[in-house]
Amino acid sequence: MTTQHSGPARSSKRLFALMGTAILAGVACADAGQPTDASDGAPRDADIPDVCAGSTCPDVTVDALLADTSDAPPTDSPADAPTDTATPDTLPADGCTPQPESCNGVDDDCDGMIDEVADVDCAMHPGTARIALGGSHTCGVRASGVVACWGNGGNGQLGLGMAVSMQTMPTDIPMLSGVAEVALGRFYSCARRSAGDVWCWGSNMNGELGIGMSSLQSNVPVRVAGLNDAVQISANLDFACAVRATREVVCWGTSMAIPFTDAMTGRSSAPSRVRGITDAVQVMTGERHVCVLTTRRRVRCFGDNGSGALGDGSTVASATPVEATGLIDAVEVAAGLGHSCARRSTGAVLCWGSNMNGQLGDGTMTNHATPMAVPGVTDAVQLSAGTAFTCARRASGRVSCWGTNQTGELGDGTTVLQRPSPSSVMNLTDASFIAAAHGGLGAYHVCASRTGGAAVCWGSNGSGQLGDGSRTQSAVPVMVTGFP
């Protein structure tokens, strides 16, 4: 981001106006004019169970989600939760009239920064590809709202109407349109449409399609039951979650470590509410834990905590969300195999949890149960956490990655086994969006959209998931053929 000017605060009213325009990277609303589907008779909100045993969006925008006028903590937060005293790093200059930030090269909101993702997701403005990565497949949303997928298709996760071993170049899903966002797990894929409905396809062995257990696989998209107002989605291994317009979080699928599942089977085959979350802006699924960014810019996580992935200073698993220590100005969260990261409003990045492969980026391989700064990264505008590695998109358009590198997923031209400090991706200076693979062992590739609309990928390619027409892994970015 480029610093343009700064000046004294005019009033608390102006300061609130600034903070209210904040928006997260990776959460965007497509054109409200996209087609909708309201004729399928899917169950409505009352049909979503409240299981705690163990979502573009014409009605609600992400700007609205962050513009929360209440300073009171959620009712389930501890009484001693820290008071949010975070303020913008730069304030309006004299004579500047704040307006919502847009991707136009101008400091619209008068905070001294141009087109910053903390205020608007410039990565997702019209014409920019939206890409998600699974275990060994990739999907992206074309500007038209059509989804294209490539890579491993053996479980129907490419959505082509049949299970195919692989596709090495993007292939459109014929019966799905109006898509705003995609999220991928190990052997399945999901898409959020502009109306808020969510569709999934691929393996349903663990209830990951959100349709019950009547079918163990679908080669075409099927609608997730009772979910009609999603504003953001995330998927990993064998489960998925969504933020609803109500700011609640619902999840479905299988994970023994996470409380939305049945205590006996470890499964919730239809969306179930996560108790204690009523102020969500973003949800990100790790492989055995979940993290949520709240309207108060806190990060709250739940699930497995053996390596400290929840960030509360302990290694004790929690079935209810706990707050990551010391984060009061987070604007984005990311979750990987056993680690989590957050981006602060300043552009700094903090990570915590498992560090076996250097995925925390602090130069060590020591686990940390509380957030630790990633040295040298002070200008991040987007994060993406992979299986055992992490990537950050910088304000300059460059990308830095750190952690495991066994198939070249760090993109620095090498296959050095691990890098515990950030390393620059080669030949990429204009990234506008990044996505790292997760979803189990073998999920070791990364893709990026470029400002001109083209997409590049690097890392593992045994199933053609890089989309360049080959199955040859690459330690540097290669062009995705025919996308967007």
Q: In this predicted structure, what is the pLDDT of residue 399?
A: 98
Please tell me which residue, 269 or 309, carries the higher pLDDT value: 309
Residue 399 sits at φ, ψ, to 5 deg, of -125, 135
Q: In this predicted structure, what is the pLDDT of residue 270?
A: 85
Q: What is the mean pLDDT of residues 464-484?
A: 97
pLDDT above 70 (res 368): yes
Q: In this predicted structure, what is the pLDDT of residue 108?
A: 61
Percentage of the residues of the chain whose pLDDT score is greater than 70? 71
Q: What is the mean pLDDT of residues 50-78?
A: 36
Q: In this predicted structure, what is the pLDDT of residue 255?
A: 76
Distance from CA of residue 20 to its chain's centroid?
21
Please tell me which residue, 120 or 256, carries the higher pLDDT value: 256
Tokens standing for 242?
């969504």
pLDDT bin (cut points 50, 70, 90) of residue 265 is: low
Q: In this predicted structure, what is the pLDDT of residue 210?
A: 94
pLDDT bin (cut points 50, 70, 90) of residue 45 is: very low
The answer to whether residue 288 sits within a structural domain is: yes
The answer to whether residue 484 sits within a structural domain is: no
- Interacting residues of 425 by C-beta distance below 8 A, sequence separation 6+: 391, 398, 399, 400, 401, 410, 411, 412, 431, 446, 448, 458, 476, 477
- Tell how strand 137-141 and strand 188-193 pair up: unpaired
> Are the C-beta atoms of residues 235 and 190 closer than 8 Å to each other?
yes
Q: In this predicted structure, what is the pLDDT of residue 214?
A: 84
The answer to whether residue 365 sits within a structural domain is: yes
Mean of the per-residue pLDDT values for the chain? 79
Q: In this predicted structure, what is the pLDDT of residue 106?
A: 53
DSSP character at residue 3: B
Q: What is the mean pLDDT of residues 261-280?
A: 78
Q: In this predicted structure, what is the pLDDT of residue 443?
A: 87
3-state secondary structure of 18: helix
> H or E segment at 325?
none
The answer to whether residue 93 sits within a structural domain is: no
Cα–Cα dist 244/169, whole Å: 33
Q: In this predicted structure, what is the pLDDT of residue 111?
A: 66
pLDDT bin (cut points 50, 70, 90) of residue 163 is: confident
- Cβ atoms < 10 Å from Cβ of 220: 16
pLDDT bin (cut points 50, 70, 90) of residue 67 is: very low
DSSP E strands: which ranges in 135-208?
A: 137-141, 147-153, 164-172, 179-184, 188-193, 198-203
The side-by-side arrangement of strands in the sheet containing 330-335 is: 330-335, 339-344, 349-353, 368-373
Tokens standing for 46?
């009352």
Q: What is the mean pLDDT of residues 345-364?
A: 97
The side-by-side arrangement of strands in the sheet containing 239-244 is: 230-236, 239-244, 249-254, 267-273
Q: What is the mean pLDDT of residues 442-469?
A: 94
Query: What angle (nearest 5°) sits at the alpha carbon of residue 64, between those of residues 386 and 192?
Result: 45
Q: In this predicted structure, what is the pLDDT of residue 332?
A: 95
Q: What is the mean pLDDT of residues 156-161?
A: 96
- Cβ atoms < 10 Å from Cβ of 46: 7
- Interacting residues of 14 by C-beta distance below 8 A, sequence separation 6+: 92, 98
> Are the C-beta atoms of residues 305 and 319 closer than 8 Å to each other?
no
Q: Domain containing 307 — which CATH number? A: 2.130.10.30
Q: In this predicted structure, what is the pLDDT of residue 50?
A: 38
Residue-wise pLDDT tens digits, 5-43: 333 333 333 333 333 333 333 333 333 333 334 334 333
CA neighbours closer than 13 Å in the CB half-sphere of residue 429? 1
The answer to whether residue 3 sits within a structural domain is: no
pLDDT above 90 (res 256): no
Please tell me which residue, 379 or 27, carries the higher pLDDT value: 379
Torsion of CA 301, 339, 431, 411, to 10 degrees: -170
> Are the C-beta atoms of residues 58 and 64 closer than 8 Å to each other?
no
Which of 1-5, 222-226, 251-255, 431-435 is the least confident region?
1-5
Please tell me which residue, 316 or 66, carries the higher pLDDT value: 316
The answer to whether residue 11 sits within a structural domain is: no
The answer to whether residue 159 sits within a structural domain is: yes
Cα–Cα dist 134/151, whole Å: 9
pLDDT above 90 (res 449): yes
Cα–Cα dist 264/255, whole Å: 11
Residue-wise pLDDT tens digits, 68-126: 433 333 333 333 333 333 333 333 345 677 765 554 445 666 766 544 444 434 433 33
CA neighbours closer than 13 Å in the CB half-sphere of residue 257? 22
Q: What is the mean pLDDT of residues 243-251?
A: 95
- Interacting residues of 426 by C-beta distance below 8 A, sequence separation 6+: 411, 412, 413, 476, 477
Q: For the chain, how many structural domains are there in total?
A: 1
Q: In this predicted structure, what is the pLDDT of residue 99?
A: 65
The answer to whether residue 302 sits within a structural domain is: yes
Print the domain residue range for 132: 18-35+47-77+100-479
